[in-house]
């Protein structure tokens, strides 16, 4: 079964009687920005389960959009499957990008960022979503009832986590974390002109070195559920 099916069905049910009904502005959503190896995926997945259990509005199941986000963007904008690899959470050489656009290999990176942003805004407006990465906190910063979270941790512990998670050597994990972290910083700076480490971009910053994952999930979840009231 498609893991997004319950979420999609809940939205169909919400609007089936009035397809022109305005999207509510009181529906909560969460964005997660994460340093590489700071348990972003683990916390996002646990958050969905926590919210499903504790949210009184059971007819609107919370859903995570991490890697699933790109599938949703391609669906929303009727993009061919052949361009799925052109959605990295990193910057792309402008010369390479321009040449590939010229030869009709794929839309420009800026066009893809724009389409991704449109989908992120739409999902946030629908609510009950956990949006991971891709500048979602910046894109949705003007929308009400969002909880914007940054997950951080020491380099040593994050590299150790990725070494275990990816089953790679210590040296490889350290290189991986450094490259992925720099790529995300560059992505946010180039396409949104923001500093990903600016604390003012977030409502909550959690150090995963010292805050256990279950505690982090409860803190974030309870904060989001407060917007449901």
Long-range CB pairs of 117-124 (<8 Å, 24+ gap) are 118/76, 118/77, 119/69, 119/72, 119/73, 119/76, 119/77, 120/69, 122/76, 123/29, 123/65, 123/69, 123/72, 124/29, 124/31
The contacts of residue 28 (CB under 8 Å, 6+ apart) are 127, 128, 145, 146, 147, 224, 225, 227, 228
- According to the model, what pLDDT value does residue 75 have? 61
One pLDDT digit (tens) per residue for the chain, 229 residues: 434 444 334 443 444 444 444 454 558 899 999 999 999 999 999 999 999 888 777 667 788 887 766 665 556 545 544 444 444 444 444 434 433 443 344 445 677 777 778 888 888 988 888 999 889 999 999 998 899 999 999 999 999 999 999 999 999 999 999 988 988 888 888 888 899 999 999 999 999 999 999 999 999 999 998 876 5
Angle, alpha carbons 54-56-58 (nearest 5°): 95
- According to the model, what pLDDT value does residue 199 have? 95
- According to the model, what pLDDT value does residue 62 have? 85
Query: Which of the 8 DSSP states describes residue 167?
Result: T
- The answer to whether 124 and 58 have CB atoms below 8 angstroms apart is no
| Domains parsed from the chain with CATH numbers | 26-220 (3.40.50.300)
């Amino acid at each position: 079964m498609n893991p997004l099916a319950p979420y999609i069905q809940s939205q169909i049910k919400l609007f089936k009687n009035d397809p022109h009904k305005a999207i509510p502005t009181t529906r909560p959503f969460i964005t997660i920005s994460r340093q590489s190896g700071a348990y972003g995926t683990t916390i996002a997945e646990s958050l969905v389960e926590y919210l499903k259990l504790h949210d009184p509005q059971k007819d609107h199941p919370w859903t995570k959009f991490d890697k699933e986000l790109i599938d949703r963007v391609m669906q929303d904008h009727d993009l061919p499957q052949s361009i799925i690899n052109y959605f990295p959470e990193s910057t792309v050489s402008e010369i390479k990008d321009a040449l590939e656009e010229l030869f009709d290999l794929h839309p420009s990176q800026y066009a893809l960022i724009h389409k991704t942003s449109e989908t992120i805004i739409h999902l946030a407006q629908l609510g009950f979503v956990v949006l991971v990465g891709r500048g979602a906190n910046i894109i949705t910063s003007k929308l009400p009832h969002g909880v914007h979270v940054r997950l951080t941790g020491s380099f040593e512990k994050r590299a150790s986590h990725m070494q275990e998670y990816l089953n790679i050597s210590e040296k490889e994990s350290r290189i991986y974390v450094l490259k992925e972290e720099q790529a995300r910083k560059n992505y946010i700076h180039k396409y949104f002109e923001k500093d990903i480490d600016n604390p003012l971009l977030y409502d909550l910053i959690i150090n995963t070195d010292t805050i256990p994952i279950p505690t982090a999930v409860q803190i974030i979840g309870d904060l989001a559920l407060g917007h449901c009231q």
